[in-house]
Amino acid sequence: MFGTVVVGVGIAGLARIRDLMNPMPSSPSEHLKLLGFVSRRNFDNIDEAKQISLEDALRSKEIHAAFISTENRSHEETIRMFLEAGKHVLVEYPMALSAKAAHELWEMAEQKGKVLHVEHIELLTEEYKQLKKEVAGKDLVKGTLHFTGHVLDENKAGFPAFSGIARLTWLIDLFGDLTVTSASRIKQKDKNYSRMTVHFQTANN
C-alpha cells in the first residue's frame, strides 16, 4: 500500500478524502492508504481519517505522497516542502502563480526522482472527451468562451486571470498554443463586480 496525506480540506480536499476512504473497486486508488489530513483548522476525524500536523506528514516514513488541495497562492511552497521531504506530489491546478516557479518545481521533482502531477479533473470527464472528439482535425476560426464565477479572494487565489485558468487549459488542449493579443479589466468595487476580457490567437492566427 502507498501511504498518502491530503493537505487542505476545502471542497477539493474533502472530495479527495472521500475518494481515498472509499476507492472504486479495481481502481488504482485501492493501492493508496490515507494516513491522515493536514489543515490549519482543528477538526475531529473526517470520514475516519485523522488530522495530523504538517511536520508529522513531512517526517513520516509511511507517507509516500501528498495530495495538495490548498488555496492557489500556497501551492508552490507546499509542493517544495513535500518534494524536499522525498514525497511524490499531486496538486490541484494551478501548480504555481508563475511559469518560472512551475518550471523550477518540475526540475526539482526530476532531480529528486519524484512524480509531480498537476490535476485538472475537468479534462478527464466524458463531456470534455466528447468535445475533444468534435473539434479534432478542425481549425478554430473564431470563438468566444464566457465564464462566470463568484468573487475570489485575490490574496488566496492569486490575480484575477487565475479564476479562468481552467478554461484556458481547455483551449490550449483543444487548439494548441495561444498568444495573448490584448487584455482588459473592468472593476466595480461598489457592486463587488469584476470582468476580465482576453483575446487570443492560435499558432496559425
- pLDDT tens digit string along 79-95? 999 999 999 999 988 89
Q: How far is CA 53 from each of CA 50, 117, 167, 198, rounded to the nearest angstrom? A: 10, 23, 34, 41
- pLDDT tens digit string along 84-135? 999 999 998 889 988 899 999 999 999 999 999 998 878 888 999 999 999 9
Residue with C-alpha cell 472521500?
A: 18
Domains, the chain, in order of start with CATH, read: 2-119 (3.40.50.720), 134-202 (3.30.360.10)
| Per-residue confidence in pLDDT tens, the chain, 205 aa | 899 999 999 888 998 999 899 988 888 888 999 999 999 999 878 888 999 999 999 999 999 999 999 988 899 999 999 999 999 999 988 899 888 999 999 999 999 999 999 988 788 889 999 999 999 988 888 988 887 777 677 777 667 666 667 778 888 899 999 999 999 989 888 988 888 899 999 998 8
- Strands of the sheet containing 65-68, edge to edge, are 32-38, 2-7, 65-68, 88-92, 116-119
Torsion of the alpha carbons at 23, 31, 38 and 123, rounded to the nearest 10: -60
Cell of 61: 516514513
Cell of 161: 486571470
